[in-house]
Amino acid sequence: TVADLKGLKQGQLRLAVITTAKYIIPRLLGPFCQLYPGIDISLQVTNHELILDRMMNNLDDLYIMSQIPDHFDVNFQPFLENPLVVFAPANHPLAKEKNIPIERLGEERFIMREPGSGTRSAVQSLLEKHGVKVKVKLELGSNEAIKQAIAGGLGISVLSRHTLLTDAAEFSILDVQNFPIKRDWYMVYPAGKQLSIIAHTYYEYLLDAAKKITEQGGLIPDYNSAEA
């Protein structure tokens, strides 16, 4: 039977994913492990630059990231969107405003991810493109820590909308021009590499799971439409 065949898949799956993927990948691993009880998993969660290092050193079977490496030949497959949005506390004065000019961000205290973060480089290139300088009050190496700092009133930041999946009520997403920064999550592996049967099984599983999520309207509820 099919179940017997699935039981035959034994071994280890080594995944390394960028920080924003931790809001969805572990959840999707539950059903995967039920389908394939013989597969054990290691999951590394880290920033863009450290994912690149791991890929160069061939430490994992499969990578999830939002920006395809420039200087390294890879196979890649987008599977879900990963937009970056402007986060502020729920009671922020700009929360009710529409179409806020991007220059306005220069007047706010800003919280920025650490060097090496893909979120940080995406935010910096958008700000540079529009000649906007922000006052970085605080630099933090964790999306969750940034959310706590925002909730604590330390400033505003730009984060993946997925980081809001569990606690949307504490935050507002500001309607700033040129946002969201549109990005996707990609499954990536080195171009010369043959995926193991197990990694290939996961690859197909994740594509299929993502397709179902997209068909059901995506992961991301439209928080701001709830305010009315």
Closer to ligand PGA by Cβ: residue 52 or 198? 52
Angle at 48 between CA 112 and CA 41, to 5 degrees: 125
What's the closest the beta carbon of residue 19 comes to ligand PGA, in angstroms?
3
Q: Does the protein bind ligand PGA through residue 118 (CB under 6 A)?
A: yes
Site for ligand PGA in 119-148 (CB under 6 A): 119
**Region from 22-30, 52-60, 112-120, 200-208 binding ligand PGA, contact rule CB under 6 A:** 112-120
Q: What span, in angstroms and rounded, lies between the C-alpha atoms of 159 and 83?
A: 8
With respect to ligand PGA, which residue has the nearer C-beta, 92 or 113?
113
Binding ligand PGA by CB under 6 A: which of 160, 163, 172, 201? 160
Q: Which is nearer to ligand PGA, 14 or 161 (CB)?
A: 161
The label of the residue with tokens 């700033």 reads 176
**Residue 82 binds ligand PGA, judged by CB under 6 A:** yes
The number of beta carbons lying within 10 Å of the beta carbon of residue 37 is 11
Q: Which of residues 13, 16, 17, 18 is near ligand PGA by CB under 6 A?
A: 18
Is 157 among the residues that bind ligand PGA (CB under 6 A)? no
Q: How far is the first Cα of the chain from the last one, in angstroms, to the nearest whole number?
A: 52
Comparing CA positions, the residue from 42, 48, 13 lying closest to residue 205 is 13
Which amino acid appears at position 215 of this protein? E
User: Distance between alpha carbon 12 and the CA centroid of its chain, in Å?
Assistant: 24
Q: What are phi and psi of 118, to 5 degrees?
A: -70, -35
Residues in the chain: 228
- Half-sphere exposure (CA, 13 Å, Cβ side) for 12? 7
User: Which CB atom, from 71 or from 98, has the smaller least distance to ligand PGA?
Assistant: 71
Between 20 and 201, whose beta carbon lies closer to ligand PGA?
Answer: 20
| Whether the Cβ atoms of residue 134 and residue 110 lie closer than 8 Å to each other | yes
Q: Is 113 near ligand PGA (CB under 6 A)?
A: yes
Q: Which stretch binds ligand PGA (CB under 6 A): 102-110, 114-122, 131-139, 173-181?
A: 114-122
In the shown chain, the binding pattern of residues 40 to 59 toward ligand PGA, with x for contact by CB under 6 A and - for none, equals -------xx-----------
- Choose, by CB under 6 A, the member of 13, 14, 17, 20 that binds ligand PGA: 20
- Classified as helix, coil or strand, 160 is strand
Query: What type of residue is 85?
Result: V
For residue 84, the surrounding DSSP H or E stretch is: strand 84-89
Binding site for ligand PGA (CB under 6 A): 18-20, 47-48, 66, 82, 113, 117-119, 160
